[in-house]
Structure formats: C-alpha cells, structure tokens
Amino acid sequence: MASDRSSAAVALPSYPKAVEAYRKAVATAATATAYAVLARGMARELLPHDLRAAASWAASLLRARFEPRPADRHTFVIKRALGSSLHNDGDGGELYDEVRQYLATRIDPHSMRRLCLSGGVRGSSKVLSMEHGDSMVDMFEGVAFTWESVAGEGRSGAAAVAESLELSFDAEHTDMALERYVPFITATVEEAWNQDQSLLIYMNEGSGWGGMNHHHPATFDTLAMNPELKQSVIADLDRFLKRRDYYRRIGKAWKRGYLLYGPPGTGKSSLVAAMANYLRFDLYDLDLSEVRGNTFLQRLLTRMSNKSILVIEDIDCCFSAASREDGKKDQAGGKKDQAGGKKDQAGDDVDSDYSDDDYSDDYYSDDDAPDPWGMPQQEQKITLSGLLNFIDGLWSTSGEERIIVFTTNYKDRLDPALLRPGRMDMHVYMGYCGWEAFKTLAHNYFLIDDHPLFPEIQELLSEVEVTPAEVSEMLLRSEDADAALQGLSKFLGEKKQAIGEQN
C-alpha cells in the first residue's frame, strides 16, 4: 500500500514546478510581444512612407494572385404569367410551372424552416414550394444550381408583374444550364405528368371521335407471351421513341407499324394495351365499318393527336385480297371520292395536331351536317388505297410519333400491299400458350414460380395447342393454386386424349 502511494507521488508533477512553468511561458509571450511592438515602431520611424506603401501594395498583389477570385455568376429569370397552368400552351408560364413542379420533388422539408404547402381537395397531391425570398441549391452533374423565389412587384400599367424563379450559377456552366439542365427539368416533369395522366381510348362515329378513360391493366410484365419476342417488341418501341431526328434525316414520317397475327385468344388485344401503358400513348380504335368513305377516313385520321396508337382490329375482315382491284373498277366512285377530298383540303381548315383538351370525354361529329360532297351514302365506300395513303402516302406526315397496329387471325387473307416493309414494319406472331407464357400466368394468378404439377403441365403444353385465354379461364376457376392447376392438368389431358382419338 505504501509503495503504491509513493509511485503515485512520483507520477504526478509537483505544484511548485507547474507554477514555475506557467511563469516562464508568460514571460516568453510578453518578451515576444514587446519585440513586435518595438519592430513596428522602428519600421515606422526608419522606413519612408512610400516604401511602406509599396510593401503593402506588393503584399496585396501577392494575395490577389494566389488567392482564388470569386467566380462570375449568371442568373436566368423565369417569370410566371398570369393565369398560367401546366401544359397550357401559349400563356408563357409553362416553364415556370414545370420548374416549380420539379423543385417540389427536390425540396427537403427538414432543411428549410419555412415552406409553402399547396394542393387541392379530395385526395389531390400536395405540393411544396419556397416562400418568396428563400433559396435552395439543386445539384446536377456535380454542379450547384441555386434557385430563389422572388415576389412580384405589384402592377406595371395595366398588367400585373407576377412572381418569378431565379436560377443562378457560375458563368462557366452557362452551356450546361441551357443545353442539359433546363431540358432535364422539362423532360422529368413531362415524364411524371404522363405517368399521372389517365390514358384515353377513342372510338370513331362518323367523322368524329368519342373518348373515355382507358384503364386496361395489361403490362409487359403480366403479358403471357414468348419472353424473347416480348423483349424484341419492347426494344423496338424504345428504339422508335429515340429516333425522331433519325426519321427526319432520312425523310420518313415518325411512325411505326405492327401487325399482330395469330389464333383468337392469344393476347393480341392485351399486347396493344400493354404497348399503350408502356408508351403512355392514347388509343384510337378505328372501326372501318363505321367509316362512310375515304374522305371521312382522311378526316378521322388527321384528327388524331400525336403520341397515339391507331388500332384496326381484324383487318382481314375489312378488305379482301382483291379490294384494290375493286376500287380501280369503280372509277366513278373513286373520282368522286378524290374530288371530295380536294374540296375538303381547300375548303376546311383541319388541324392535324389536336390536344387532349380538344377531346375530353365528349365526342364531336359532323354526322348531323348535310353531306358536303353531294354523294349518295350508298355510293360512298372506303378503299384499301385510301388507308394505304395515310399509312405511307402523302397524308402519312399529318402527325408524328404514332404507332399503327393491325390485328388479324388470318395473315394469309391480307392483301400483300399491307404486308410490305414501310407499312407493317414488325410482324408479331401471337401463338399458342407455351411453357414460359404459362409460368407468367401462374405467377400472375397465384404468385408462384414452382409447383409439383409444373412438370406434368409443361409436358402437356408441348403436346397440345391451347391459347393463353383458355389457360387463364382454367386458372380463374379457383383461388387455390393446387385446385386450379389440377383442373388445368385435367383439361390439357382431355385435349390430348381427344387429339389421339381423332388420329
């Protein structure tokens, strides 16, 4: 115990030694301060004023040379037009609204003390925005862009000066701001807007379209078809969307044609719906039996909006293989159709690019008006030539970014003119249900990827022809996977037995 105390006493410095060290430190600091004051006084007395000014100037020059200078800043002012709203063309406030919507997704509510919260009622989304006078920084490709909300300045004459958003950045990043950052903002907002908007499907009646919301749930993930074929369709659609400049360079209309063919019940209509959901394009379902003539067809097709899909189902039922020859024989009717078409071009201003607001949920039609072409209705008829003229003729450029889809159960019945490249660019065979398509259906209905009955079903599917619609019907009969798959296995076995008896 005594030895421990002695060791602690040796380890701890004594109080007198600590005091002595402190006194030495204070004395040294005082001496250094005294020498500094003395040197400064001697310099003032001994060195001339001009020499001291030159030394100060040299020091300032060195600091300016080696210290980084503040970067030049540029500012873009984006003003809000009175009454502006997103996607309301022509009011001048579209960019302001798009930027405001973009910044709402970039604001961190935990980092700002004051925020403006706005939004509608009945479940409308809430939007965060900056209060006037506040600012925030948005990072893009490693560069800081500063946004500031500026209040309006009251009225200037008869027009009110609304608030604005100011974008500030280093001057060296001006090209990035104009060529990449601002386009990135508009593209981001446009994509989000398209995803939120309900798709519409239009049906023709006379020379008008009637639209309603389209809520088909089909997607490429849930579509029961060959996986390689499915991926080829997706890749073709993606390539089409990216080729606007390419189509302009080669002098072709920005459109793409697809022919979906195969037995009934193989998912042709579901593929069309999946394409619409993937592209976020509205659908135009054209019933040619309701079209009274080529001129009415022309008016219908030019009234379609861009970014849309034109669908003509069962095209083999609309035209026979000799339909063009029949049209040539009926020269009188053809001439009248052509004359009517010229009159329509000269006399009517038909807008080929209609906005969604022009359609809404109502339809517009000219059926109630007297026939302006003076042709008896029984003599009017639509011809294959009239349709082909819109697909790749002079009228094919009346719109852009359009998809044209024909479906048929019997490809061999189609006129060869419909099948050549440039009209139907991609032919997609929708065949009977294979093993991969069945696995997609099993996962859709029961969220399973394996089951003891799978080997048996796989073998039966390779021996019988059954459509995805038939398989879906069997799977729908029970919510229990075991019971449904047993029923499907029995159904396939019976079809196999029936085939054997026929042979």
Tell me which amino acid residue 270 is.
S
- How sure is the predictor about 117, in pLDDT bands with cuts at 50, 70 and 90? confident
pLDDT at residue number 250: 86
Give the list of residues 6+ apart from residue 117 with CB closer than 8 angstroms, or none: 126, 127, 128
Mean pLDDT of 376-387: 63
Q: Report the distance separating Cα 276 and Cα 195, nearest Å.
A: 12
Least confident of 157-161, 187-191, 282-286, 403-407: 157-161
pLDDT digits (tens, 9 = 90+) for 13-66: 567 777 787 788 878 877 878 777 777 777 666 667 677 677 777 777 776 666
How does 469-492 read in b/e, with b if 16+ C-beta sit within 10 Å? Answer: ebbbebbeebeebeebbeebbebb
**Tokens 């405001």 label which residue?**
100
Q: Are 425 and 455 in contact (CB under 8 A)?
A: no
**Tokens 């080696």 label which residue?**
66
pTM of the predicted model, to two decimals?
Answer: 0.61
What's 421's DSSP letter?
Answer: T
Report helix, strand or coil for 147. strand
Q: Nearest Cα to 77, choosing from 182, 171, 155, 167?
A: 167
Encoded tokens for 116: 């403006």
Can you give the residue ranges of every domain in the chain? 73-81+90-152+161-197, 208-320+379-429, 443-501
Percent of the chain with pLDDT strictly greater than 90: 34
pLDDT digits (tens, 9 = 90+) for 229-266: 999 999 999 999 988 888 888 888 888 999 999 999 99
pLDDT digits (tens, 9 = 90+) for 180-214: 999 999 888 888 877 777 889 999 987 789 888 88
pLDDT at residue number 363: 38
pLDDT at residue number 120: 56
Mean pLDDT of 113-138: 75
Encoded tokens for 42: 């001697």
Least confident of 102-116, 308-322, 382-396, 482-496: 382-396
- How sure is the predictor about 319, in pLDDT bands with cuts at 50, 70 and 90? low
Around Cβ 59, how many Cβ atoms within 10 Å?
10
Is the per-residue pLDDT at 7 higher than 80? no
Q: Report the distance separating Cα 173 and Cα 244, nearest Å.
A: 28
Encoded tokens for 169: 């950045």
How does 220-244 read in b/e, with b if 16+ C-beta sit within 10 Å? Answer: beebbbbeebbeebeeebeebeebe
pLDDT at residue number 67: 65
Cα→Cα distances 494→63, 451, 491, Å: 93, 21, 5
pLDDT at residue number 100: 86
Is the per-residue pLDDT at 352 higher than 50? no
pLDDT at residue number 299: 85
Q: Report the distance separating Cα 241 and Cα 244, nearest Å.
A: 7
pLDDT at residue number 35: 75
Cα→Cα distances 238→9, 194, 231, 234, 243, Å: 83, 16, 10, 6, 9
pLDDT at residue number 322: 40
Q: Nearest Cα to 474, choosing from 494, 452, 450?
A: 494
Choose the most confident range, by mean pLDDT, from 124-133, 178-187, 349-358: 178-187
Q: Which H or E run includes 405? A: strand 402-408
Q: What is the mean pLDDT of the chain?
A: 77
The CATH architecture one would assign to domain 208-320+379-429 is 3-Layer(aba) Sandwich (3.40)
Tell me which amino acid residue 160 is.
A
> Please, what's the largest Cα pairwise distance for the chain?
132
pLDDT at residue number 93: 64
Tell me which amino acid residue 11 is.
A
pLDDT at residue number 195: 72
Q: Are 248 and 254 in contact (CB under 8 A)?
A: yes
Encoded tokens for 43: 């310099």
pLDDT at residue number 480: 95
